[in-house]
Amino acid sequence: MIAQEAQYREWMLAALAGDGTAYRMLLAALTRHLRSYFARRLDSGAEDAVQETLIAIHTRRASYDPGLPFTAWVHGIARYKLIDEYRRRRRRATVPLDEARDLFGHDEAGEAIARRDVEQLLAKLPSARQQLVRDVKLDGIPVADVAARTGMSESAVKVAVHRAVKSLGEFAKGAVGGKGKGHADG
């Protein structure tokens, strides 16, 4: 049984009864799981897949049977959207047989550590670049919006983010290389 099952199911049942607040909390929580699920499986367009999955969860919520695990239902939809994405890109014919555990199973603590690591690396960047990476990569704000807000052109934003991510990669390599050589290029 997935740890969050009881909480999420409770929110879902409230949402089906029309409770918007429970629904908002549910979708926010699911978004975090979906983000890491798609980010680990798609090399681009993960945020689009997250949004498509959220829309599918919304429009097909009548297909949830309260007698069945809610996490399995969400995983079924997420996996379907993943397969759909692979098919559209014609990149891979088969999808790994993952289970609901793969969507919900990763522990929040691990995610918090990863987030802290990223923050430490980000701190080494100039603050303007930090903000760009935060907006585009962590918060999923579309490049066009960031460009409009900062007054930069879209391509300038893309280049800046790309360079920043590259230097983050180098910082990370430096950090790993310092601990144990030979594993840095794994």
Partner 1 sequence: MRTDDLIARLTDDLAPVKGGTAQRLLLTAAALGLLSSAALMLAVLGLRYDFDTAITSFGMWTKLVYTFVIAGLGLWTVERLGRPGAGAARPVALLALPVLAILLLSAWQMAAPHADMDALVLGHSSRVCAANVLLVALPTLAAAFWVLRRLAPTRPALAGAGAGLFAGAAGAFIYAFHCTEGAAPFIAIWYTLGIVLTAGVGAVLGRFLLRW
Q: Is 73 in the site for partner 1 (CB under 8 A)?
A: yes
Per CB under 8 A, the list member of 47, 125, 129, 132 interacting with partner 1 is 47
CA dist., res. 140 & res. 35, Å (int): 10
Residue closer to partner 1 by CB (options 62, 93) is: 62
Q: In angstroms, what is the minimal distance from the CB of 117 to partner 1?
A: 23
Choices 44-52, 149-157, 166-174, 177-185 (CB under 8 A): range interacting with partner 1: 44-52
Residue closer to partner 1 by CB (options 63, 120) is: 63
Q: What contacts 24+ positions apart, CB below 8 Å, involve 74-79?
A: 74/8, 74/30, 74/33, 74/100, 74/103, 75/99, 75/100, 75/102, 75/103, 75/104, 77/53, 78/34, 78/37, 78/38, 78/53, 78/103, 79/103
Number of residues that bind partner 1 (CB under 8 A): 42
- Residues near partner 1, by CB under 8 A: 15-20, 23-24, 27-28, 31, 47, 50-51, 54-56, 58, 60-66, 68-69, 72-77, 79-80, 84, 100, 139-142, 145
